[in-house]
């Protein structure tokens, strides 16, 4: 259990276009989903946290108008990179956590990532 | 705020040799600690985690890690490394309700 998928796994787009990445929890309901960005040879940096049915919380320095996050259901969150530029090229990874009653910590389960290349 | 330090950016070991990857964390309360492995172009796979209880944690693929509160460390170990273990390893600390902070990663190279 606790499988998270991402689609697409790889996308190449032209500068100025928008790209949507989907993150799905396949066998559980994810109350919270997270979006990370990983530049080459670097660690994962949290971009934003999204709770189903509410607005995402963005980390400092992440442009909310550029990286639109929608968490419309308990199994789906989307990240849209608007007006993408070459500097947005990166590996984007989502994770999802499920609510466990009485738990002091809700573990995150990670998707396989999406490689975005902006030409 | 929590932080994670992985002092070794790159480690090379011979196949069959033992391995220890270092991880130090900074967090004011009891941390939730994780080790993940990432192969090139892939997502993260959880190797093991520590939430509470026994400080020596067993994980998948023959890995183990020991939580030492006095040293704020959570080092990853494997007694005999296989060529397929070559990958990037990330230590992470979970704090607050669910937020996770990752270390910079240690790239493991395995030579025959």
Query: CB–CB of A93 and B36 under 8 A?
Result: no
B43, A94 Cβ separation under 8 angstroms: no
Task: Give the tens place of pLDDT for each residue, B25-80.
Answer: 998 777 889 999 998 878 889 999 998 888 999 999 999 999 999 999 999 999 99
How far the first Cα of chain A sits from its last, in Å, is 37
B1, A88, A70, A52 alpha-carbon torsion, rounded to 10°: -30
pLDDT of residue B98: 65
Task: Give the tens place of pLDDT for each residue, A38-64.
Answer: 988 788 899 999 988 888 999 999 999
Give the phi and the psi of residue A85 in degrees, each rounded to 5.
-125, 165
Query: CB–CB of B43 and A111 under 8 A?
Result: yes
H and E: helices and strands count for chain B:
0, 12
Q: Quote the strand ranges of B17-112, DSSP E.
A: 19-21, 24-26, 32-38, 44-50, 56-58, 64-68, 73-78, 87-95, 99-102, 106-111
Is B95 a residue whose pLDDT tops 80? Answer: no
Is B1 a residue whose pLDDT tops 60? Answer: yes
Query: CB–CB of A46 and B99 under 8 A?
Result: yes
pLDDT of residue A31: 85
Domains of chain B in start order, with CATH, are 3-111 (2.60.40.10)
**Rounded CA Rg of chain A:** 14
How far the first Cα of chain B sits from its last, in Å, is 41
**Averaged pLDDT for residues A80-98:** 94
Query: CB–CB of A107 and B43 under 8 A?
Result: no
- Which residues lie closer than 8 Å to A110 by C-beta, 6 or more apart? A4, A93, A94, A95, B36, B43, B44, B46
A6, A21 Cβ separation under 8 angstroms: yes
Is B97 a residue whose pLDDT tops 60? Answer: no
Q: Report percent pLDDT > 70 for chain A.
A: 94
Q: What pLDDT band is residue A18 in, cutting at 50, 70 and 90?
A: very high
**Averaged pLDDT for residues A66-72:** 92
Distance CA(B16)–CA(A72), nearest Å, equals 48
Average pLDDT, chain B: 92
Is A99 a residue whose pLDDT tops 80? Answer: no
pLDDT of residue B2: 82
pLDDT of residue A103: 66
Q: Search chain B and give the residue with CA nearest A59.
A: B99
Helix (H, G, I), strand (E, B) or coil at B88: strand
Indicate the residue of B41, B90, B98 with minimum beta-carbon distance to A108: B98
Helix (H, G, I), strand (E, B) or coil at A14: coil
Q: What pLDDT band is residue A107 in, cutting at 50, 70 and 90?
A: confident
Would residue B84 be called left, alpha or beta, if left means φ above 0 and alpha means ψ between -120 and 50 degrees? alpha
């Amino acid at each position: 259990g606790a499988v998270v998928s991402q689609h697409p796994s790889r996308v190449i787009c032209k500068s100025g276009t928008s790209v949507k990445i989907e993150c799905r929890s396949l066998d559980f309901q994810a109350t919270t989903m997270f979006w990370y960005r990983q530049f080459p040879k670097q660690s994962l940096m949290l971009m934003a946290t999204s709770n189903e049915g509410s607005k995402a919380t963005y980390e400092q320095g992440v442009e909310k108008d550029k990286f639109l996050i929608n968490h419309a259901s308990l199994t789906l969150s989307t990240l849209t990179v608007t007006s993408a530029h070459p500097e947005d090229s990166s590996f984007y990874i989502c994770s999802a956590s499920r609510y466990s009653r009485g738990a002091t910590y809700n573990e995150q389960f990670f998707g396989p990532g999406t490689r975005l290349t902006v030409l | 705020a929590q932080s994670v330090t992985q002092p070794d950016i790159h480690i090379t070991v011979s196949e069959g040799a033992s391995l220890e990857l270092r991880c130090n964390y900074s967090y004011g309360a009891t941390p939730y600690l994780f080790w993940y492995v990432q192969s090139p172009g892939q997502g993260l796979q959880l190797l093991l985690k520590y939430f509470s209880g026994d400080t020596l944690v067993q994980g998948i693929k023959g890995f183990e890690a020991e939580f030492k509160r006095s040293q704020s460390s959570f080092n990853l170990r494997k007694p005999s490394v296989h060529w397929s273990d070559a990958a990037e390893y990330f230590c992470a600390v979970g704090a607050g309700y669910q937020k996770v902070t990752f270390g910079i990663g240690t790239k493991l190279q395995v030579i025959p």
